[in-house]
Structure 1
Amino acid sequence: MSEGIIIKALSGFYYVEDKGQIIQCRGRGVFRKNKITPLVGDQVVYQAENDKEGYIMEIKPRRNELIRPPVANIDQAILIFSAKEPNFNSVLLDRFLVLVEFHQIIPVICITKMDLLLETEIKILKEQLSVYERIGYEIIFLSSHTTEGIEQFRSIIGTHTSVFAGQSGVGKTSLLNALQPNLALKTNEISTHLGRGKHTTRHVEFIQIDNGLIADTPGFSSLDFNELDIEDLPWTFPEIQEIGKDCKFRGCLHENEPHCAVKAAVEIGDIDEDRYQHYLQFLGEIKDRKPRY
């Protein structure tokens, strides 16, 4: 038997790369029986029937995994938002950050379509995003048309295994084409009726960019917090987690508790007011969620 990595999943087949060779595999019946689904990114043991086909016999332990999109063993999540068409949405960004932090995946924030902004709009947007830089997040400003930031983005990919995440229509596919034109991936226009992009990716597949791998996926089809409990939320906000250590009561949720260091920090501007309001919004969503059984 041999070992490899699943680089593509489509219609019940798993395409395993092993030393440059691609083997089309099916999963063993025991996976279905135990409700285990092989994921793109899985390191697997497979048994080859011939030089093109085989069966996955074992899935190696995962460092992490995402449910939607279904990928595993991701080093970093590249959160892609557009400066315009659709406009940047900080609530949505914070929602993505919570999910990525919860899975202990390093996030990188990328803002595309910078060429569509006027100078005054660029200044406003960068001031808005400076909040995230102060927290410690890396931000890259990009344009697939002018190639602004493309080489910086290429260096971020490096030798990592990354997943793209973000709204549809923000230019994820155009960005991949700018990085590697011979991919010739299909792009699609913004829906004028819905005001958002149309999905162009229908399955999960790794695309190699230089020495790195990018999981090109249909996107995060769910942005709810079904996997989080209320005590999980504070540590997905790094600044709240850090300042929350000074709260008087252990397990403080930074909502209505007295002597809360986080609320005090919001009042004096050490924690961004908008980020804190998003935190409270997400906390309410988790509290209102139906109990899990």
Structure 2
Amino acid sequence: MILAKAKGAGGLSMTAGLILIGLGPSGISNMTRAAISAATQADIRLYEAYTALWSESALAQLETEIGEITKVMRPEVEEPSQMLSLAKEKSVALLVVGDPLQATTHVDLQLQAQEAGIDCEIIHGISITGLVTGAVGLSNYKFGRQTTLTYPYGGWIATSPLEVIALNRIQGLHTLCLLDLDPTGAGTGNQKPMQPEDAQTAIMAMAKKLEDSIDEDINDSNLQRLKFEASQKIIAELNDLDVVICTDMGGKNQSISYLPLKDLHICETGGLHCLVIPAKLSEVEQKALIRWTKQ
């Protein structure tokens, strides 16, 4: 891909270097002033479109505000030689939905820039990790490891996301589950954000596969015994498991629903979704979640 060498607003050129800019969720109203200013003044603006997305209308509004934007996908970010070459002579802004250092991919890009002697500035943005935990009303201190529910690839599906949920729950920890964007896993385009029904199907497929293989790797380690117990427990509880589905968070169409996992297929579709799998709830948390119960 040839990246256009566009000037910043008013034809101004900032100091050469790379700027990782967090866009926050959903649209320009969630960007900081610093983010808008830096993006506007950059010589080149690249929108990273494979770890998270804005709607096309929100992206068009942003482009009207800050200037021409070029979309880049996984290959351009994970093999950033062209981007870094441009950043030696121009100010290159990489626009990342959410916070620009939420994904390891972007941390690696930051390190590669620094190793190449290229200035790398970070402008943080609102992350889904902080937004969702507060919005649904669960204690941020009680969240365990985060995971991503993935599409089945070629008929194969990973069980590790369900194992993360299981281990968190048996320790009394909630789980934030991001939902996959790419049915191909390639990160090269044609993104299709996973919908609630897809998430339900994926979790049930994971449970079936985990149940079939649950005793294959048992050994005497404490961790393996805990994993075995946690896996058995989550499989037994799955039909009665309540979840929180969060849709288009931070935008005008934001919605939150608290409902059984088995009813996810009746949820309305939207842009981007994530799931929260609660563990044991405090009294305050119970009251908070009841607000989102579907009638």
TM over 0.5: no
TM-score (norm 2): 0.25
Structure with bigger helix share is 2
TM-score (norm 1): 0.25
